[in-house]
Chain A
Amino acid sequence: RRGRGSEGSMEAAELRVGFVGAGRMAGGLARGLLRAGKVPASSILASAPSDKNLDAWRESGCRTTHCNLEVLQESTLVFLATKPHILPGVLQEIRPAVGPHHIVVSLAAGVTLQTLQRLLPAGTKVLRLMPNLPCVVQAGAMVFARGTGAGDGEATLLKSLLSSCGLCEEVPESYINIHTGLSGSGVAYVYLFAEALAEGAVKMGMPGGLASRIAAQTLLGAAKMMLETGEHPAKLRGDVCTPGGTTIHALHQLEKGALRATVMNAVEAATNRACDVAKD
């Protein structure tokens, strides 16, 4: 059976979702969709060359295959989640099965809409998605950009589906590399910071496991306050700083270490690297 193709009339519950490539990122998205109850497991089909990755999918109730073409034949919304360097080969392979009813969403870092559109039939509805790992726990940050064949209907569908995995915003394609530097890689910066926080606590005498859990909760709580109050982080920071108190003493240490500039450097480096990789 083929899914319906008309723009805007697609019901998420009747959607047949396919994943070409079943690695960590694909698994994260699928898990998010399942946990939010947006798509039943039986409507999800994933393909991968070996069974190594597919076992976990089957355990969740999803269907699996070793045939990429089958994913295209059985699904309407298809996520391309292979490693970037093998994607062009995969696109050649699936091209014959791609039709006007398909919505193709590429997760491949560095593969531009222009490239995708070139390797797929003219007029195919193509979008590019850049998620981040916490999609797995429905706290992801995702941005997507549409290709020339994709319209408001596709954008709305994608946004509504993926909001189940976290924050999902449409952006111009030029922001995608910046998102990588900020949030794709950014998750790692946070892990680093959390580790350092905990280490500081251990130095001061707290057991590591407890310190780690508290560090994580501190980051979670602070982030939640930012998102829920909508207040500027500088104001929130000031609210915590009693005159002459512990916080301002600590912040002075962070400023002495030029933490802000270092973080800016990190985002810049990751963004530039994403741009460089895209050019290759």
Chain B
Amino acid sequence: AGVLAAHKITASSPDTDLPTVSGLRKIGVNFTVSNKDTVKSSDVLFLAVKPPIIPFILDEVGPDIEPRHIVVSCAAGVTINSIEKKLSTFCPTPKVIRCMTNTPVIVREGATVYATGTHADVEDGKLLEQLMASVGFCTEVEEDLIDAVTGLSGSGPAYAFTALDALADGGVKMGLPRRLAVRLGAQALLGAAKMLLESEQHPGQLKDNVCSPGGATIHALHFLESGGFRSLLINAVEASCIRTRELQHLADQEKISPAAIKKTLLDKVKLESPSLSLESTSKVSLFTNKS
């Protein structure tokens, strides 16, 4: 999106064989195997490790966190409170922002929300918003809504991919070549989403606009309704949200043991201290030079 020069971004991972690593290197991002180096060379630090790893990462990099750092956690189910608690043993007023985004940030059509922690200022939030708005939609929310956002737009692309796969199957069944079916299905959803975002009208009204009396579309919609299409989607969002809360609950109780983390990861990592049994998986941070 052109908001940052590649050389201002540092990423770290213990595992240098990951395809993501070479991808990052290709676009000019600074790469290191040391999380501590990443922290030292950054102002805004994105923690992009899997949720169970977060506590271990925080223990590792905690001593290097300085007042200038804005720690942004993208980990599902990890509360601001838990991060602040961990970091407060090292730093009295850590700036923490919790963020939930989704995969289409890759194509700059992400859906991102964030909640600011106790010591993060309004401008810190705005900085993050500016960064994330360059890759899609970004807005601030109350932290207690983040699980719902996860259920809706976090998992949402998966629902869409499933729908698209099935739509393509329908097209193929009725005679279309697969590639064309996929292309048309994706475009149909993209177009519909765009119409909704750009229109003042309710989706129900937009739906009606497509349904001519006794026509093809209304016949098809009847099938969707008969199958409980709407309730399936409601169920899905609900299930994802509830599961997120469950995982959060488990994490809060620190029930995830090192044994749950891949042993192969442990093998590749140099132990920095006896209290840590492992280092992180890949972690990307954005380096911004405020001066």
* Contact status A232-B202, CB under 8 Å: yes
Q: Which residues of B contact A260 (CB under 8 A)?
A: 225, 230
In the assembled complex, the Cα of A255 lies from the Cα of B234 at a distance in Å of: 9
> Is A1 an interface residue when CB atoms closer than 8 A count as contact?
no
A264 adjacent to B222 (CB under 8 Å)? yes
Known: A252-B231, A252-B234, A255-B231. A261 touches B208 (CB 8 A): no
Would A258 and B231 count as touching, CB distance under 8 A? yes
Cα-based distance from A233 to B222 in the complex (angstroms): 18
Jot down 16 A-B pairs with beta carbons below 8 A, ordered by A.
A232-B202, A232-B204, A233-B204, A234-B203, A235-B202, A235-B204, A252-B231, A255-B228, A255-B231, A255-B234, A258-B225, A260-B225, A261-B222, A261-B228, A264-B222, A264-B225
What are the interface flags for A224-237 relative to B under an 8 Å C-beta threshold, 1 for contact and 0 otherwise? 00000000111100
Cα–Cα distance between A234 and B202 once the two chains are bound (Å)? 7
Beyond contacts A258-B228, A261-B225: 12 other A-B pairs, Cβ-Cβ < 8 A, are: A232-B204, A232-B205, A234-B203, A234-B204, A238-B202, A252-B231, A252-B234, A256-B228, A258-B227, A258-B231, A264-B225, A265-B226
Contact with A along B245-262 (1 / 0, CB 8 A): 000000000000000000
Assess whether A256 is in contact with B231, with CB atoms less than 8 Å apart.
yes
A261 to chain B, nearest CB (A): 4
Which A residue's beta carbon lies closest to that of B230?
Answer: A255
| Chain A positions within 8 Å of B238 at CB level | 252
Across the interface, name the chain A residue whose C-beta is closest to B205.
A232
B268 to chain A, nearest CB (A): 44
Question: For A235, A260, A265, which residue has the most chain B Cβ atoms within 10 angstroms?
Answer: A260
**Nearest chain B CB to A213 CB, angstrom units:** 30
Q: In this complex, what residue of B is CB-closest to A244?
A: B148
Chain A residues whose C-beta falls within 8 Å of the C-beta of B235 in the assembled complex: 256
In Å, the complex CA distance between A234 and B201 comes to: 10
- Chain A residues within an 8 Å CB radius of B208: 232
B222 to chain A: closest CB distance in Å?
Answer: 5
* Interfacial residues of chain A within 209-246, with CB under 8 A of chain B in the complex: 232-235, 238
Task: Say whether chain A's binding surface is mostly helix, strand, loop, or mixed.
Answer: helix
Interface residues of B (CB under 8 A from A): 201-205, 208, 222, 225-228, 230-231, 234-235, 238
Return the chain A residue nearest B201 by Cβ.
A232
Minimum-distance CB pairs A-B, first 4: A234-B204, A261-B225, A255-B231, A261-B226
> Chain A nearest CB: distance from B86 CB in Å?
30
B205: chain A residues within 8 A (beta carbon):
232, 234-235
Using Cβ atoms and an 8 Å threshold, which residues of chain B touch A233?
Answer: 204
Q: Which B residue sits closest to A175, measured CB to CB? A: B213
What residue of chain A has the Cβ atom nearest to residue B233's Cβ?
A255
> Out of A255, A256, A258, which one reaches B226, CB within 8 Å?
A258
A252 to B241, CA, bound (A): 15
> In the complex the two chains form, what is the Cα distance from A255 to B231 in whole Å?
5
Chain A neighbourhood of B222, CB < 8 A? 261, 264
Min CB distance, B196 to chain A, in Å?
A: 12
Give, as a whole number of angstroms, the nearest-CB distance from A81 to chain B. 29
Of chain A, the residue at the smallest CB distance from B218 is A264
Q: What separation, in Å, do the CA atoms of A168 and B204 have in the docked complex?
A: 26
A264 to B205, CA, bound (A): 18
How far apart are the CA atoms of A231 and B176 in the complex, in Å?
A: 39
Measured in the bound complex, the distance between the Cα atoms of B202 and A256 in whole Å is 22
**Proximity bits, A241-280, B CB within 8 Å = 1, else 0:** 0000000000010011010110011000000000000000
Complex Cα spacing A235 to B201, Å = 9
Closest CB in chain A relative to B95 CB, distance in Å: 29
Tell me which residues across on chain B come within 8 A of A238, comparing CB atoms.
Answer: 202
A256 to B231 Cα, complex, angstroms:
5
Minimum CB–CB distance for A46 against chain B, Å: 37
CB distance from B143 to the nearest CB of A (A): 15
The distance from the CB of B118 to the nearest CB of chain A, in whole angstroms, is: 25
Give the distance in Å from the alpha carbon of A264 to the alpha carbon of B218 in the complex.
Answer: 10
Report Cα–Cα, A252/B205, bound state, in Å: 20
* Chain B residues whose C-beta falls within 8 Å of the C-beta of A258 in the assembled complex: 225-228, 231
Tell me the complex Cα distance, A264–B225, Å. 9
Bound CA–CA A83/B230 (angstroms): 42
When distances are taken between beta carbons in the complex, the residues of chain A under 8 Å from B231 are: 252, 255-256, 258
Chain B residue at minimal CB-CB distance from A268 = B222
Alpha-carbon distance between A148 and B137 when the two chains are bound, in angstroms: 60
